[in-house]
Amino acid sequence: MKKYFASSELIINEDGSVFHLHVKPEWLADKVILVGDPGRVAMVASHFENKECEVESREFKTITGTYQGKRITVISTGIGCDNIDIVMNELDALANIDFQTREEKPQLRQLELVRIGTCGGLQPYTPVGTFVCSAKSIGFDGLLNFYAGRNSVCDLPFERAFLNHMGWAGNMCAPAPYVIDADTELIDRIAQDDMVRGVTIAAGGFFGPQGRELRIPLADPNQNEKIEKFEYNGYRITNFEMESSALAGLSSLMGHKATTVCMVIANRLIKEANTGYKNTIDTLIRKVLDRI
């Protein structure tokens, strides 16, 4: 029996667009670039030869256009994995649910999704300016734990090794971390030989969850030191950002291909930051446009 989605579960606006994104099914390309900052959407779209639609609602700004003959949708997600839950579910609905009948389409339409973001580097080989492509993500956000099938797509031995290493128990820093791989073919194509292939922690905040202490002390003052030293099967944790785990996790469950590439704008190890990155992130944008 075909799955039917009631109007309370999949909310469709009167104009036929999906609830939060305000995007209509015919506007979605198979190749999707996700950015955090709505201002970065125009930067990506400035490279398009033509634009076929442009729509904005809350932090979600979307443009679909063509780059060197490839049809691409660029969309902003705002900050955090909670927003990725909205964006991924609504993009997947636009691709794989018939908005007239409210039924799942018989054939999966697979999307290719690349997030372009900024991050904090955690290793000596990830200084400011490095491009890191997330081969694995560790989700501190807990989002994937709400979906059945979570254990079938996550790297459970890696999760156990990480939790043992951190020594977190009870509700100390209780993120119930999940570890998820990005799509390997997509990583090879996007990262090539000029990006670090890393393990990214997607944190549920910019300060405490990334070990930044301002006026109030952290639950685990040694958090970042332990994270920087963690090693498992040759993997080391390279960077902090705030969305890659939910993107990789939901894509994996939905049957899409996804990865995240970020430019390091702060190195936490040597306590250095670059606030002028807005001028240089265009190099990363052009690499992704060429390779997606």
Crossing angle, helix 38-45 and helix 281-291, to 10 degrees? 60
Residue from 23, 36, 93, 288 that binds ligand R1P (CB under 6 A)? 36
CA 228 to chain centre: 21
Binding mask 174-213 for ligand R1P (x = CB under 6 A): --------------------------------x-------
Instruction: Establish if 5 lies at the interface with ligand R1P (CB under 6 A).
Output: no
Instruction: Establish if 277 lies at the interface with ligand R1P (CB under 6 A).
Output: no
- Closest residue (Cβ) to ligand URA? 120
Instruction: Establish if 37 lies at the interface with ligand URA (CB under 6 A).
Output: no
What residues numbered 247-286 form the site for ligand URA, per CB under 6 A?
Answer: 265-266
Interacting partner of 266 out of ligand R1P, ligand URA, none (Cβ under 5 to 8 A depending on kind): ligand URA
- Distance (Å, rounded) from C-alpha 142 to C-alpha 82? 10
- From 84-92, 135-143, 159-167, 240-248, span contacting ligand URA (CB under 6 A): 240-248
- Distance (Å, rounded) from C-alpha 273 to C-alpha 267? 6
- Among residues 215 and 271, whose Cβ is nearest to ligand URA? 271
Interacting partner of 65 out of ligand R1P, ligand URA, none (Cβ under 5 to 8 A depending on kind): none
Give the helix, strand, coil percentages of the chain, each rounded to 5: 30, 30, 40
Minimum gap (Å) between residue 80 Cβ and ligand R1P = 7
Give the H or E element holding residue 33: strand 31-35
Residue from 62, 96, 118, 210 that binds ligand R1P (CB under 6 A)? 118
- Which tokens go with 106? 């018989």
Interacting partner of 114 out of ligand R1P, ligand URA, none (Cβ under 5 to 8 A depending on kind): none
Q: Residue 230 in contact with residue 222, Cβ under 8 Å?
A: no
How many other C-beta atoms are found inside a 10 Å radius of the C-beta of residue 51? 11
E-strand ranges in 158-286 read: 178-181, 196-202, 231-232, 235-241, 257-267, 272-273
Residue with tokens 């996007």: 190
Interacting partner of 181 out of ligand URA, ligand R1P, none (Cβ under 5 to 8 A depending on kind): none
Q: Alpha helices of 114-243 — where are they, by DSSP H?
A: 150-153, 156-166, 184-191, 223-229
Residue from 119, 254, 261, 285 that binds ligand URA (CB under 6 A)? 119
Residues near ligand R1P, by CB under 6 A = 35-37, 79, 117-118, 206, 241-243
